[in-house]
Amino acid sequence: MNVLFAHKVDRLGSHRVIEPAGALPQNAIKLDNTPIPFENEILCEVEALNIDSASFRQISESNDGDARRIGDHIMQTVKERGKQHNPVTGSGGMFIGEVLSIGAQLRERIDLRAGDRIASLVSLTLTPLWIDAVKDVDTATGRVWICGKAILFESGIWAKLPGDIQTEVVLATLDVAGAPAQVRRMAKPGDSVLVIGADGKSGMLACAQAKMATGGSGRVVGVVPDAGTESARLLIEENLVDALVEADAREVLNLVDKVHAALPDLAHLTVNCVNCAGTELSSIICTRENGTVYFFSMATSFTAAALGAEGVGKDVTMIVGNGYAKGHAELALQTLRDHPAIHAYFRKRYAPAQHFEQGN
Ligand code: NAP
Give the model confidence (pLDDT) of 10-67 as tens digits.
999 999 999 999 999 999 999 999 999 999 999 999 999 999 999 999 999 999 999 9
What's the confidence (pLDDT) of residue 350? 87
Instruction: Answer yes or no: is pLDDT of 3 > 60.
Output: no
How many angstroms separate the CA atoms of 261 and 219, rounded?
Answer: 13
What's the confidence (pLDDT) of residue 8? 79
Q: Indicate the domain borders of the chain.
A: 14-161, 178-345
- 202, 230, 248, 319: which to mutate for ligand 1, most atoms within 8 A of CB? 202
Buried b (16+ CB within 10 A) or exposed e, 165-191: bbbbbbbbbbbbbbbbbbbbebbeeeb
If you measure from the C-alpha of residue 343 to the centroid of ligand 1, how many angstroms do you get, rounded to a whole number? 18
Share of the chain above pLDDT 70, in %: 95
Instruction: Answer yes or no: is pLDDT of 6 > 80.
Output: no
**What are the phi and psi torsion angles at 146 (to 5°)?**
-135, 165
Instruction: Answer yes or no: is pLDDT of 178 > 70.
Output: yes
What's the confidence (pLDDT) of residue 351? 66
Position in ligand 1 atom list of the atom nearest CA 56:
34
Four-way CATH pick for 178-345: 3.40.50.720, 3.20.20.150, 2.60.40.10, 3.20.20.140: 3.40.50.720
Instruction: Answer yes or no: is pLDDT of 81 > 80.
Output: yes
Position in ligand 1 atom list of the atom nearest CA 91:
34
If you measure from the C-alpha of residue 237 to the centroid of ligand 1, how many angstroms do you get, rounded to a whole number? 21
What's the confidence (pLDDT) of residue 358? 43
Query: Residue 264: helix, strand or coil by DSSP?
Result: coil
Instruction: Answer yes or no: is pLDDT of 2 > 60.
Output: no
Yes or no: say if 241 and 261 are a contact pair by the CB < 8 Å rule: no
Contacts of 224 (CB under 8 A, 6+ apart): 197, 198, 199, 231, 232, 235, 244, 245, 246
What's the confidence (pLDDT) of residue 272? 98
How many angstroms separate the CA atoms of 295 and 301, rounded?
Answer: 9
Yes or no: say if 194 and 270 are a contact pair by the CB < 8 Å rule: yes
Yes or no: say if 20 and 27 are a contact pair by the CB < 8 Å rule: no
**What are the phi and psi torsion angles at 253 (to 5°)?**
-65, -40
If you measure from the C-alpha of residue 38 to the centroid of ligand 1, how many angstroms do you get, rounded to a whole number? 36
Instruction: Answer yes or no: is pLDDT of 104 > 60.
Output: yes
pTM of the complete model: 0.92
Position in ligand 1 atom list of the atom nearest CA 248:
19
If you measure from the C-alpha of residue 273 to the centroid of ligand 1, how many angstroms do you get, rounded to a whole number? 5
Buried b (16+ CB within 10 A) or exposed e, 232-261: bebbeebebbbebbebbbbebeebbebbee
Q: Give the DSSP H/E element, type plus range, for residue 186.
A: helix 178-186
Q: What is the mean pLDDT of residues 188-197?
A: 98
Spatial CA neighbour of 325 closest among 205, 220, 237: 205
Contacts of 215 (CB under 8 A, 6+ apart): 189, 190
Question: Which residues have any ligand 1 atom within 6 Å of their CB?
Answer: 52-54, 91, 175-176, 178, 197, 199-203, 223, 225-226, 248-250, 273-276, 296-299, 321, 323
Yes or no: say if 339 and 238 are a contact pair by the CB < 8 Å rule: yes
The mean of the pLDDT values for the chain is 94
Yes or no: say if 94 and 175 are a contact pair by the CB < 8 Å rule: yes
pLDDT band for position 7 (50/70/90)? low
How many angstroms separate the CA atoms of 238 and 44, rounded?
Answer: 38
Pairing of strands 317-320, 129-138: unpaired
For the segment 239-297, what is each residue's pLDDT rounded down to a tens digit?
999 999 999 999 999 999 999 999 999 999 999 999 999 999 999 999 999 999 999 99
What's the confidence (pLDDT) of residue 140? 93
pLDDT band for position 125 (50/70/90)? very high
For 95, counting Cβ atoms within 10 Å of its Cβ (0-12 exposed, 13-18 middle, 19+ buried), the class is: buried
What's the confidence (pLDDT) of residue 143? 94
For the segment 292-342, what is each residue's pLDDT rounded down to a tens digit?
999 999 999 999 999 999 999 999 999 999 989 999 999 999 999 999 999
